[in-house]
Amino acid sequence: MTETTTTVIRNADWVVAWNSDTERHEYLQGENVVFRGDRIVQVGGHFDGEFDHEIDGRGRLVSPGLVNIHSHPLSEPMNKGFLDELGSPGLYMSSLYEFMPLFRPDAEGTTACTEVALSELLLSGVTTLTDMSVPYDNWIDLLDRSGIRAVLSPMYRSARWYTKNGHVVEYEWDEQAGRDAMAAAMKVIDQADAHPSGRLSGMVSPSQIDTCTAELIRDSFDEAQSRGVPFQIHAAQSVVEFHEITRRHGRTPMEWLSDIGVLQKGAIIGHGIFLNSHSSVHWPEADDFTLLRDSGAAVAHCPTVFQRRGIAMQSVGRYIRAGIPVGIGTDTYPHNMLEEMRNALINSRLMSGNPFDLRTHDIFDAATVGGAAILGRDDIGRLAPGAKADLFMADVTHPAMRPLRDPLRSLIYVAAERAVRDVFIDGRQVVSEGKVAAFDLDDATARLEEAQRRAEVKFTELDFAGRHPLEASPLTYEVVE
Ligand SMILES: [Zn+2]
């Protein structure tokens, strides 16, 4: 790939093209998409110019690559089979406090987790990823190798949470450690910005509203503003956290973020579910929804991890209609962005009892131009001349895509990653015929499985009740000899 290498996708059956006059995606049929170097030069019509590569677009959908604004690739893939139906009955069914901190990959496991997650993301059409991780040695190297466009979001905090009984969450504070970790995180952001690939950038991310001091959160937001980068914090993500903040401050999580000056444009709230109006929270004399709506802050919506525990936003359609900027992320395994989009659509209908609460275009927009805007970019998430050549091609002849009437509906509601064949980022092919170029997925998965066995041994040592993993999370059926 050189500056001038020109690739033509010829006669694509379907193209999701960006119309810059109406500021909307629209479908084209049987037309061409052309990119040169890392940029798109033509979308639609016929291309008669010189080219280096020609791709047959017949039988293909050409779509802008998906923009993911929230994920934790370093750990989440390991939870498959363990956390699928596990919550804490004493902690409003969240698994954040009793289980997740105890079931963690070691250093080798982290690499395996990340390789698997990045592969799944690419295979489901993600071209831009926000990776929220506690920094580790080969982080930048893995992201660079994958070919993905990455927003490194190094997490840090002033306290860790734990429980000694499964029904009370406690916090162990070390404010200086939080400060030191913030300083280290800023160095990682500097490294990302200076990376020669040009595909890496940074985001400022104090981890959670209940584990960071007000000063750390405020200074982090100021740092993000002065650097011109986005800011994200987990907030309104559990009933426990809602009550922890009301107990400490007499204010809801949204009110408290507003009080300390960070609920405003430039802030991303992951996940923004437990507003005072949520039916699991009895707190009638507040108006978090209006506060959030008028603030300009955005929400990172990741429904899959919550729906497993019977928890959902009420409802994402309502947020979007109110004009709250909503982007999509994958907070858990599988790192399947298309399934995450499907879950967002279905959850919204279940919560509202209304199939018109949210339309497919609302979520496709959130996963493309919407997420891009939240990240401060107008050159990704769209197929338009001048935009980055970040796109994927799906096989519309795949049985899961047929009968083919509306390719995005077939893709999101049924086929998902099964139909994704080729992915390009900066004009460089990172997935070919359904295979990720950078990683050996079979090998990474085998290493992930070994890491999961090692983590199971550790779980018993760390658990307050010393439970065996089979006791904490029994298998679907007993294994008989
Ligand atoms: Zn998260």
The full set of domains in the chain, from first to last, is 6-64+385-436 (2.30.40.10), 66-374 (3.20.20.140)
Its pTM stands at 0.97
CA distance 52 to 4: 9
Please report, for residues 100, 319, 343, 368, the alpha-carbon distance to residue 327 in angstroms, rounded to integers and kept in the order given: 24, 11, 14, 8
In the chain, what are the helix, strand and coil shares in percent, each to the nearest 5? 35, 25, 40
Residues of the chain with pLDDT under 70: 1-2
* Whole-angstrom Cα Rg for the chain: 22
What's the order of all strands across the beta sheet hosting 60-64?
24-28, 14-19, 60-64, 391-395, 420-425, 428-432, 435-436
Rounded distance from Cα 267 to ligand 1 centre (Å): 15
CA distance 29 to 58: 10
Phi, psi dihedral angles at 175 (to 5 degrees): -60, -40
Q: What is the pLDDT of residues 349-376, one digit of tens each?
A: 999 999 999 999 999 999 999 999 999 9
Identify the sign of the CA torsion 304, 155, 278, 314.
negative
Helix/strand number for the chain, H first, E second: 15, 22
- The SS3 assignment for 305 reads helix
Rounded distance from Cα 378 to ligand 1 centre (Å): 24
Rounded distance from Cα 72 to ligand 1 centre (Å): 6
448: Cα within 13 Å, side-chain hemisphere: 23
Rounded distance from Cα 270 to ligand 1 centre (Å): 7
Phi, psi dihedral angles at 47 (to 5 degrees): -105, 120
Rounded distance from Cα 374 to ligand 1 centre (Å): 16
Rounded distance from Cα 114 to ligand 1 centre (Å): 15
Rounded distance from Cα 331 to ligand 1 centre (Å): 5
353, exposed or middle or buried, with CB in 10 Å at 0-12, 13-18, 19+? exposed
Rounded distance from Cα 464 to ligand 1 centre (Å): 24
Q: What pLDDT does residue 4 have?
A: 83
**Of residues 331, 134, 159, 298, the one with CA closest to residue 230:** 298
Name, in order, each residue with C-beta under 8 angstroms of 208's C-beta and a sequence gap of 6 or more: 157, 233, 234, 235, 237, 241
Rounded distance from Cα 456 to ligand 1 centre (Å): 22
Q: Is the peptide bond before 403 cis (omega within 30 degrees of 0)?
A: yes
The structure tokens listed for 176 are 């200086």
Q: What pLDDT does residue 125 have?
A: 98
